[in-house]
Amino acid sequence: MEDIVKKLLENKLDEDNLRKLLSLGNPKMHAFVAEAIELTRPESVFVCDDSDTDLAYIRNRAIESNEERSLAIEGHTCHFDGPYDQARDKANTKYLLAAGTDLGASLNSTDKEAGTKEVLSFLKDSMVGREMLVCFFCLGPANSDFSIACVQITDSPYVAHSECLLYRAGYEQFKSISDSPDFFRFLHSEGELENYVSKNIDKRRVYIDLGENIVYSVNTQYGGNTIGLKKLALRLAINKASREGWLAEHMFVMGVHGPGGRVTYFTGAFPSACGKTSTSMLPGQTIVGDDIAYLRKMGGEIRCVNVESGIFGIIRDVNSTDDPVIYEALTNPGEIIFGNVLVTDDGKPHWLGMGAELPTEGTNYSGQWHKGKTDDKGKEISPSHKNARYTVRISELSNCDEHLNTPEGVPVGAMIYGGRDSDTLVPVEQAFDWTEGIIAKGAMLESETTAATLGKEGVRTFNIMSNMDFVSLPLGRYIQNNLDFAEGIAKPPFIFSVNYFLRGKDGKYLNGMMDKKVWILWAELRVHGDVEAIETPTGLIPKYEDLAGLFKRELDEDFTKENYIEQFTIRVPNLLAKIDRVEQIYKTKVPDTPQIVFDVFNTQRKRLNTAKDKLGDYISPFDL
């Protein structure tokens, strides 16, 4: 160890914490910690070795620091972010790119030298008078081909506590990598606080250095900006995967239970608040993960793991009817962090859509709240934020899949792409093949914006593979990586699109919350060739008889022919407009787009126009 690093560590760490750090014989990690100490100048440093004692220390520090408050139910706490720190800050999340490096106009970046200088200036002295927390985690199951070791440095006990719930312990994993420099690094400071929340939001920055595998985050507490191993690590992993020949995707992983005890594993990519977690949590199915997956080719098949071991989920509309498993976990004793919900005077959390009567007063992210309270612009303050969250371990859920931590992962039988779409796509459709699935279902994905990101809601936005905010490659290369990934695989996963948000002429949703169960179970039957399908210009859709049977058996509902026609009508003008819209994006903003993308667009356009000439603009599935 270099003398200067050793001296910095010995001066700041007490004997026990120094021992824990030096037990990990990794010079690069030691230097990272020492440099962070010199930069941020903390009062003290705590190193977490994943022992029960150390994990309890972090939980207690979150309460003592007032970053979390205890609730009435044992193990439950609540965290509040500031009024203007309630979502991912897309504008100030940027890649640090060296001169001559280009990720394309679609990805947010800044000059590495200038950006590093800026973010380090905000981090300088940011931990004076505070305790620095050094934690180790593992992305993916430990001791597997999927494992990535990580070190998180933060001055926020809430961030550290959240990661202890969301990720697998990594102290022992770090021992296993010895002196390898191949690990991810995260440095976060919440910055100056006011009423226990980040004050200088105008200086909020989340900067990602792909070359160094490091993420800097400052002047923010919101999980999407600070929990380094989540979407910030996904950006690092996508880049790493591209170099090494695997995929890191914004996907859930679930076990879909078919006839005769059969389990088929699905992955699914959905933008925030589009049904991703609720799909992975469907009744009767099992969950491996709700957010991020690593996929590798192993033994002639595609296998995947959940990168995480917990859920940082949107809590709005979670209720006992629509989300019974999650609701049960959220209303019973266990280690859970609620974020930005309303807390009543008796210590109970209340959130939008939970199915309970709205309290008239309590505490929320704005401070003391009462019905009718307005902000400084005269806008009424919601009791619970639209993007309020919960954090829970998957192992706490009754539907946790038995292979959550299997080192080899699970085989992928199908992949689903879904977003918010009020007027174009049918509820479920199978792609003709892998290539058309990746391009027409994944690379054409659009979705209407929600409260999960800053900015205006309800705007239709392009969101390639539901990964637009996190791709750390030129988009053309990212598409090509996905296309190439099936090479050498005898039976690639089936690819489907789903759309839970189709609206009728009256503006109301055509689907109930549980209808998605039917779409997923139909897709599982298709994977095994148990049901036939109807060919459309853009893919394969269910036959009426099969859906009617599933609705009756699974939901005890009558699915009428009128329902079927309204939902599965092929809306040719809308589909053509979608192709034109997305094609224009690729032509103008993605100069490295593979030619096959445009070929697929043209093929679908020709099929749609042929069908239009024969059957009209709006085609009943019974006419196909």
Question: Residue 595 domain-assigned?
Answer: yes
Distance CA 482, CA 471 (A): 12
Same domain, 323 and 225: no
Question: Residue 343 domain-assigned?
Answer: yes
Q: Is 398 helix (H, G, I), strand (E, B) or coil?
A: coil
Domain boundary among 346, 361, 394: 394
pLDDT of residue 256: 98
Give the model's confidence band at 346: pLDDT under 50 very low, under 70 low, under 90 confident, else very high: very high
Give the model's confidence band at 323: pLDDT under 50 very low, under 70 low, under 90 confident, else very high: confident
Query: Which two three-digit tokens encode residue 130?
Result: 């505070």
Domain of 374, CATH number, reads 2.170.8.10
CB-based burial, 112-147: b 16+ in 10 Å, e otherwise: beebbebbbebbeebbeebebbbbbbbbbbbebebb
Question: Residue 421 domain-assigned?
Answer: yes
120 has a pLDDT exceeding 70: yes
For 324-339, write each residue's pLDDT tens digit: 899 999 999 999 999 9
Helix (H) or strand (E) holding 153: strand 148-154
Same domain, 349 and 283: no
Structural domains counted in the chain: 3
Distance CA 23, CA 51 (A): 14
Domain boundary among 193, 216, 244: 244
Same domain, 430 and 452: yes
Domain of 235, CATH number, reads 3.40.449.10
Q: Is pLDDT larger for residue 233 or for residue 99?
A: 233
Give the model's confidence band at 1: pLDDT under 50 very low, under 70 low, under 90 confident, else very high: low
Kindly give, in sequence order, each residue whose CB lies less than 8 Å from that of residue 506, ignoring residues fewer than 6 positions away.
none
105 has a pLDDT exceeding 90: no
pTM attached to this predicted model: 0.93
pLDDT of residue 4: 86
Kindly give, in sequence order, each residue whose CB lies less than 8 Å from that of residue 345, ignoring residues fewer than 6 positions away.
361, 362
Amino acid at 617: D
Domain of 439, CATH number, reads 3.90.228.20
Distance CA 139, CA 137 (A): 7
Same domain, 376 and 483: no
Q: Which of 138, 274, 304, 400 is catalytic?
A: 274
Lowest mean pLDDT among 83-92, 137-146, 206-215, 295-304: 83-92
Question: Residue 77 domain-assigned?
Answer: no
Question: Residue 580 domain-assigned?
Answer: yes
Which residues on adjacent β-strands are paired with residue 339? 79, 389
SS (H, E, C) 544-562: HHHHHHHHHHHHCCCCCHH
Which residues on adjacent β-strands are paired with residue 138? 149, 168
Distance CA 422, CA 420 (A): 7
Same domain, 354 and 469: no
Same domain, 290 and 357: no
Same domain, 468 and 382: no
Q: Is pLDDT larger for residue 451 or for residue 573?
A: 573
Same domain, 215 and 261: no
Which structural domain range is residue 495 located in?
248-309+404-623
Domain boundary among 244, 260, 275: 244
User: Is 274 labeled as catalytic in the residue annotation?
Assistant: yes
Same domain, 383 and 413: no
What mean pLDDT is predicted for residues 204-224? 95
Same domain, 379 and 412: no
pLDDT of residue 278: 85
Same domain, 332 and 481: no
Same domain, 459 and 593: yes
Q: How many CA atoms within 13 Å lie on the side-chain side of 619?
A: 28
Kindly give, in sequence order, each residue whose CB lies less than 8 Å from that of residue 222, ignoring residues fewer than 6 positions away.
81, 85, 86, 87, 88, 89
456 has a pLDDT exceeding 70: no
Residue ranges with strand state E in 293-333: 293-298, 301-306, 310-314
Question: Residue 74 domain-assigned?
Answer: no
Question: Residue 358 domain-assigned?
Answer: yes
For 25-42, write each residue's pLDDT tens digit: 999 999 999 999 999 999
577 phi and psi angles, rounded to 5 deg: -65, -40
What mean pLDDT is predicted for residues 262-290? 92
Q: What is the mean pLDDT of the chain?
A: 94
Question: Residue 555 domain-assigned?
Answer: yes
Kindly give, in sequence order, each residue whose CB lies less than 8 Å from that of residue 437, ignoring residues fewer than 6 positions away.
415, 431, 494, 495, 496
